[in-house]
Structure 1
């Protein structure tokens, strides 16, 4: 029998695995998708090769790319950017690690407290989360982003909005700042040359400014896995979990099995309480099934797969909230065209941000050509000047919202991508009970009944719609202030990327799945430790840091309740994921 089984090696699961393995527990980490052990051999910088949702190496599917991707039923047109594999969505994220706004916690009493989703708050105060934020920020590690010309131009626009520069990690009001991100600062020759021969480890360390964050980080060339620049969990927490017996005094290396799809969580009545006892998982390649027992089971398979697995396992859903509250950040895309180069898309994908609680935030984003074309065409408003899909959105930007085509597009790109500065609008979205995951009536796949996602993507609450319009206008003001000669708003169709809260933690047992420790209210010894456990939309900040801080807190609670351990976060100092002991052991393991 294992001590702990963790289902899912994405953004949250490896955090629990690393923390509990460091305490000497026997941890099994199961991942449904592939493990890319040698990215330099398995990945490329070609955008379609990486991000095609059906055939890319970053897709939701098994290791064998000749086999179909796993299917989900969606009830409306939208683009779902989720993937499987060790590292999960952190493999293609931009490494942005802002903290959640204090207003989403239950002790917030600021003047704008009523402007947040007060019905769905975290069941504890912001101050309680701070030590866990700090733990993750040290472990990853998180640092001030390396910046370039596009960030300089973004800040020039911010200066015209009469907002202060933020100098703390806690966002308490409208302000702007460099990103706090989990990408190692460039060192040595990195960031100083474009000569590939001079960008090899250890001559170059950290970010080499390649501009291909979305295709996965595999640089600097020659570096050990835990020295790759972007701190996706396959480069940080997973290596630490696999080498815990080397760097932790009590540590025991976790076991990782990829291409292992969990099809059932087992539970039985013990002392009058339904208790998790283990899982059944199947090998994607052969179909062989295995049963593993454990004292604790942690679900970290994502906002869609966690409810699917729960429902397929026949676990109780007494309040009907398993799968409900499927929440995202109602994104939009606004960009400016300049008469001179602004440095797009070179360097770190996103290294500057503007926060405007309680409405949302803005990030500068640099994309390579194909992804940039995608971003400029994902519109709910049709083609500018041709049709508007019934939306007819106009505002401070130039002309109606929508995708740009014809002579206007030709003129816009005549200066190349270098002359375009893009801003991502990130809105604080409300938790809505009607957004949910159920089991589809379509035929089951090899892993059981497939999920159906009900998502009222275009029928948001009045507060969410207000937030999006407010932030889109702030993006336009920023770009005008930065010197853009033209500003375009795309009015993005729903892009399901920052997803959270489908197995939410909450103050009341009436509308939440897990309690304040991350443990299921219905099944003892069953925990949720990924984005799906988040109580709400965080105010709009990118969810990874809060998810990992919450997962750290959950791991500590597991250690205390089920294994007689003491809390450690407030008394110990975390070991950083770039620790040379980890590098040495990874080299010995051939990783």
Structure 2
């Protein structure tokens, strides 16, 4: 009998595991995908090897890449970019850690309060989450991103908007700033040379500016796993959970089992109340099934798989909101071509941003060649100058929106990627009940009925569409101000990457799955601790920091409610992620 079973080792589950293992609880983490325990032997910087959705090592699938990727049913001409494996989607994220906007919490009374999704707010105050933000920011750790030429060009454009530089972690209004990101600052020779012979640990520490964030971080060469630059959870929270006995007084290391697909959550009725009692999981390699019991179960399998597991387990859904409210950020891609050097693909994936509450924001993004080709051709508007798919979007960019071809593409790439600046548009999206996960009518796979994402990304709410248009225009203005000789809007087709809220917490039991503590209203002892628990789309900021802050808070609620513990936020230093004791123990474990 375990104390806690955590389902999923992505962005949120390892946070709960680390916090509760530090308190001495018996924690089992079950991850459906692989553990890449020796990245320098198992990974490459070849983009297709990493990112191919069917065969890449960063795919939604089991450890054996000769076997098919797992299937989901979703809308035509959209792309759902989610990963399995230890670290989940944080394996390829850019480490951007902005806080949610205060306007999405239930105590906000600013002059623009009515401009947010007021029907789906967080069921507590922004101030209540601040200590948990701070806890994660110290733990990861989160730092102000290192700057380079690309950021200088971006900020030059931001200066022409008349907006101020943001100097606080909390966003109080429209402003721009360096990213707050979970990437270790370059030290020693890192950031000072491109000679690979000079970029090994400990001569080089932190980010070496390789430019391959999307393929998973495995640098500096020779560094212990918890000293890899990008703080994806496979490099931060998972190592801490597995070594809790050496850094936490009374801590007990969590157990991690990978290639282990959970197919059922078990419950029983106690005095008229449904209680979670354990799980059944399937070994992907052998096909054998195993049963584990626990006092508490934490689902952290993601916005698509959590509803699937709920339905496949036959759990109660009294208000019909399990899987509903599937929400993303309505991305767009706006690019500029420059006569001067921009250094766009150099360094970390994204190190600068402009936020514009209550509409959303934008962030400069540098990608290697294949991903750049993907980004500049993923369009809903058709081919620029050839056909428009009926959209024909015009604005402060050159010609109609759409993917580039012919003379436009030649002009855009005339100076190479080092003369390009690419900006990602990120919007605040409404939570919409019609966007949902349901069981598919297609045949089940070895893990049970598969999920269908019923998502209508082209019929978003009027407010969401307004936000996207507003931010796309602001982005074009920034590129013009930075000196771009030409600006193109791609009008991205739906890229489902920042996904949240399919198992949302909320103020009312009428339209939420979780109470304000992250516990399922219909099943006691069952918590959710990943992006699917978020009440809304946060105003537009990247979701990882808020998810991890909320997961930390949820771990505390679990500890107090089910194990008689006291709160710990504000009372203990969490700075252990790069502790040498963790490095030593990881070496002993062969990690």
- TM-score w.r.t. the length of structure 2 is 1.00
Map of 1:95 onto structure 2: 95
Tell me by how many angstroms 1:260 deviates. Answer: 0.1
2:191 aligned with 1:212: no
Render the CA deviation track for 1:266-309: whole Å, top value 9, x for unaligned.
00001221000000000001100000000000000000000000
What is the DSSP-based 3-state SS (H/G/I as helix, E as strand, rest coil) of the residue aligned with 1:241?
helix
Alignment of 1:127-206 (within 5 A): 127-206=127-206
Say whether the 8 Å CA contact 1:57–1:65 is kept in structure 2.
yes
Paired with 1:570 and 1:186, the residues of 2 have a C-alpha distance of: 29
| Cα distance in 2 between the residues matched to 1:172 and 1:117 | 17
- Given that 2:247 and 2:576 are in contact with CA atoms closer than 8 Å, whether structure 1 keeps it comes out as no
CA shift, 1:75, in A, is 3.2
Aligned 1:312-391 pairs, distance under 5 A: 312-391=312-391
Work out whether residues 22 and 252 of structure 2, in 8 Å CA contact, stay in contact via their aligned partners in 1: yes
Mean CA deviation greater in 570-579 or 131-140: 570-579
Q: Secondary structure at the match of 2:463?
A: helix
Structure 2 counterparts to residues 231-246 of structure 1, below 5 A: 231-246=231-246
Structure 1 residue ranges, 4+ long, deviating more than 4 angstroms after superposition: none
Report the CA distance between 1:412 and its aligned residue. Answer: 1.6
Instruction: Give the aligned partner of residue 588 of structure 1.
Output: 588
Q: Is the 8 A contact 1:19 1:555 kept in 2?
A: yes
Q: Deviations over 1:457-507 (max 9, x none)?
A: 000000000000000000000000000000000000000000000000000
| Deviation by residue 1:369-414 (Cα, 9 ceiling, x = unmatched) | 0000000000000001111111111111000000010122112211
The runs of 5 or more residues in structure 1 that have no matched partner are none
Any conservation in 1 of the 2:176–2:355 contact (CA below 8 Å)? yes
- Per the alignment, residue 524 of structure 2 pairs with 524
8 Å CA contact retained: 1:393, 1:400: yes
Tell me by how many angstroms 1:580 deviates: 1.1
Other-structure match for 2:64: 64
| 2:308 match: secondary structure | helix
Residue 75 of structure 2 contacts residue 456 of structure 2 at CA under 8 Å; is this kept in 1?
Answer: no
Corresponding residue for residue 450 of structure 1: 450
CA contact (8 A) 1:328 1:498 kept: yes
State yes or no: 1:554 paired with 2:554.
yes
**Structure 1 CA distance for aligned equivalents of residues 228 and 109 of structure 2:** 41
Shift of 1:26: 0.2
The answer to whether the 8 Å contact 2:331/2:426 transfers is: yes
CA contact (8 A) 2:402 2:491 kept: yes
Aligned residue for 1:452, secondary structure, equals: strand
CA contact (8 A) 1:353 1:364 kept: yes
The answer to whether residue 404 in structure 2 is matched with residue 436 in structure 1 is no
Show the counterpart of 1:249: 249
Cα distance per residue 1:162-204 (max 9 Å; x no partner):
0000000000100000000000000000000001010000000
Aligned to 2:577: 577
Where does residue 40 of structure 1 map in the other structure? 40
The answer to whether the 8 Å contact 1:141/1:576 transfers is no
Q: CA deviation at 1:52?
A: 0.4
Contact 2:308 2:450 (C-alpha < 8 Å) held by counterparts: yes
Give the superposed CA RMSD: 0.5
- Distance in 2 (CA, whole Å) between partners of 1:475 and 1:523 is 45
> Hey, what's the Cα distance between the residues in 2 that align with 1:178 and 1:190?
19
Aligned match of 2:20: 20
Once the 2 structures are TM-superposed, how far is the Cα of residue 581 of structure 1 from its aligned partner? 1.0
Kindly indicate whether the alpha-carbon contact (under 8 Å) linking 1:178 and 1:351 is maintained by their aligned counterparts in 2.
yes
Matches within 5 A, 1:480-519: 480-519=480-519
Contact 2:153 2:482 in 1 (8 A): yes
The answer on whether the counterparts of 1:147 and 1:348 sit within 8 Å (CA) in structure 2 is: no
Say if 2:99 and 2:546, in contact at 8 Å, map to a contact too: yes
Kindly provide the CA deviation profile for residues 110-137 of structure 1, in whole angstroms up to 9, marking residues without a partner as x.
0000000000000000000000000000
Q: Secondary structure at the match of 1:327?
A: coil
Distance in 2 of aligned mates of 1:209 and 1:77: 33
1:76 Cα deviation from its structure 2 partner:
2.5
SS in 1 for 2:128: helix
Cα distance in 2 for residues equivalent to 1:381 and 1:549: 38
Measured in 2, the distance between the counterparts of 1:506 and 1:77 equals: 31
CA–CA distance in structure 2, aligned partners of residues 299 and 371 of structure 1: 32
Q: What SS does structure 1 have at the residue aligned with 2:279?
A: strand
Q: CA deviation at 1:442?
A: 0.6
Q: Which residue of 2 aligns with 1:468?
A: 468
How far 1:576 moved relative to its partner?
2.9
Deviation at 1:575, TM superposition (A): 2.7
Per-residue CA shift, 1:332-375, capped at 9, x if unaligned?
00010001111111001100000000000000000000000000
The Cα of 1:574 is off from its aligned counterpart by 1.1
In structure 2, the partner of 1:275 is 275
2-structure distance, mates of 1:313, 1:269: 15
- 1:588 positional shift: 1.4
